[in-house]
């Protein structure tokens, strides 16, 4: 079973700053099958990035993804007020076929 470990658990930043979120896999993950989501309370999670680095439809270019094998990163270049949320990484691979990290909470400093 592939375990995804996200760090930090909580990240406190101010609007306009750069956010760097990490997702580390316990085994190698195919980049094609690594995705990132944004989740706000009471809302549906939103797909941001798939294929480790491809922005989903309608996602602003301040969001970018990178990485391979066991180390992946989500970067938000300049934080907007609406970006404060919980972010999850997710992989498709070994059983269970789909698994998520525990999330990074991005909060306003």
Chain residues binding other proteins by CB under 8 A are 32-33, 35, 37, 42-47, 50-51, 54, 56-58, 88, 90-92, 95-103
Q: Is 81 helix (H, G, I), strand (E, B) or coil?
A: helix
- Smallest gap from residue 51 Cβ to other proteins (A): 5
Torsion 53-9-59-19 (CA) sign: negative
For the chain, how long is the longest CA-to-CA vector?
39
**Cβ at position 17, least distance to other proteins in Å:** 26
Q: Which residue, 14 or 57, is less far from other proteins as judged by CB?
A: 57
- Residues 6+ positions from 28 with CB-CB distance below 8 Å: 69, 70
User: Which of 70/100 has CB closer to other proteins?
Assistant: 100
């Amino acid at each position: 079973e592939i375990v995804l470990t996200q760090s930090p658990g909580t990240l406190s930043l101010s609007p306009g700053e750069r956010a760097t979120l990490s997702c580390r896999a316990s085994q190698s993950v195919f980049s094609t099958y690594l995705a990132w989501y944004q989740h706000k309370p009471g809302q549906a999670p939103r797909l941001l990035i798939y294929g480790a680095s491809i922005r989903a439809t309608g996602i602003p270019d301040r969001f970018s993804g990178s990485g391979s094998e066991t180390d992946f990163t989500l970067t938000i270049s300049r934080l907007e007020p609406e970006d404060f949320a919980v972010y999850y990484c997710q992989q498709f691979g070994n059983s269970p076929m789909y698994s998520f990290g525990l999330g990074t909470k991005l909060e306003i400093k």
